[in-house]
A = this chain, B = another copy of it.
Amino acid sequence: MEIVNNIDSIRQKLACSRRQGKSIGLVPTMGFLHEGHLSLVRRAAKENDIVVVSIFVNPTQFGPQEDFESYPRDLERDALLAEEAGANFIFYPTVGEMYPQKYETFVEVTELTKELCGRSRPGHFRGVTTVVTKLFNIILPDKAYFGQKDAQQAIVIQQMVRDLNQNVEICVCPIIREKDGLAMSSRNTYLTPEEREQSTVLSASLEMAQQMIENGERDAERIRKAMEELILSKDKARIDYVEIVSAHNLKPVQVLSGKCLIALAVKFGATRLIDNIMVTVAQ
């Protein structure tokens, strides 16, 4: 496995593989890899001849009050884990390499980004779609792998790929959880032991919602309220949102029907955690 910092060199190396007819899979990450990321890398390795893991803590997707500076970083450990999982290249550019002087071009998905996380993180998705477009143009992957954990991100990126006719297949992979249910996230390392313990309420609330739906509940507000109540039973939890939306347009539904996304964002101390499940209700 090779770590490449420079756009021109990764292009050259991949052009060589491409000329040999090799397929390329891209796993875009912000590093500090966990089992969630590694499940993407393993799947990419199964489905492609060459796997590129990009590691780039992308400043344009962080708000001014957010954790860009403190976001955890550990390239050495990431390199070992990525190689073990089947990566051939880590693309690890500097901020200056990705956003040179006088940078001023952005890709924006305008509607889907107004919902859910878009409301509390203005500009976040513009940063994501911009950097992902850049990575697609640099790596030219056949397939790119994203986690269902960032459900809205995956939907926004699929919209962008469709709208801009980008030449890549988007593969969305299941959420990987800790044994106690907490969705894996690099940000989990921020949690104090107490917050960590309380944080299991998030997956528990989603399981409860699923159970309610299996028991025949179709009223979104009743499910939502029950989830909020359970979450707020933990004294460290501050809810950003708990929403039940159509998986197609991310707009809230009143009565569950078709493919719905149940998504939440909750802060424990300064740490904002997200989680979700996708449910399909016969219409």
Q: State the A residues within 8 Å of B (CB).
A: 7, 100, 102-112, 129-130, 133-134, 137-138, 140, 159-160, 162-167, 249
CA distance A130 to B106 in the complex (A): 10
Q: For A163, list chain B residues within 8 Å (CB).
A: 103-105, 134
A-B contact pairs, 10 of them (CB 8 A): A102-B249, A104-B109, A104-B110, A104-B111, A104-B163, A106-B107, A107-B107, A108-B108, A133-B164, A134-B164
Chain A interface main SS type: mixed
CA distance A159 to B106 in the complex (A): 11
- By beta carbon, the residue of chain B nearest A110 is B104
A52 to chain B minimum Cβ distance, whole angstroms, is: 14
Q: For A106, list chain B residues within 8 Å (CB).
A: 107-108, 110
- Which among B100, B102, B110, B137 is the interface contact of A105 at CB below 8 angstroms? B110
CA distance A138 to B161 in the complex (A): 12
Q: For A137, list chain B residues within 8 Å (CB).
A: 164-167
Q: For A105, list chain B residues within 8 Å (CB).
A: 107-110, 129, 159-160, 163-164
Q: For A111, list chain B residues within 8 Å (CB).
A: 102, 104
Closest 6 A/B residue pairs (Cβ): A105-B163, A137-B165, A104-B111, A104-B110, A105-B109, A105-B160
Q: For A166, list chain B residues within 8 Å (CB).
A: 137
A109 to chain B minimum Cβ distance, whole angstroms, is: 5
Asked whether, in the complex, the Cβ of B165 is within 8 Å of the Cβ of A140, the reply is no
- By beta carbon, the residue of chain B nearest A114 is B104
A164 to chain B minimum Cβ distance, whole angstroms, is: 6
Given A102-B111, A106-B107, A137-B164, 9 other A-B residues pairs in contact with their CB atoms under 8 A = A7-B165, A104-B163, A105-B109, A105-B129, A105-B163, A106-B108, A134-B165, A137-B167, A138-B165
Q: For A133, list chain B residues within 8 Å (CB).
A: 164
CA distance A165 to B134 in the complex (A): 6
A158 to chain B minimum Cβ distance, whole angstroms, is: 11
Interface centre among A130, A140, A165 (most CB of B within 10 A): A165
- By beta carbon, the residue of chain B nearest A133 is B164
Q: For A130, list chain B residues within 8 Å (CB).
A: 164
Q: For A159, list chain B residues within 8 Å (CB).
A: 104-105
CA distance A130 to B163 in the complex (A): 10
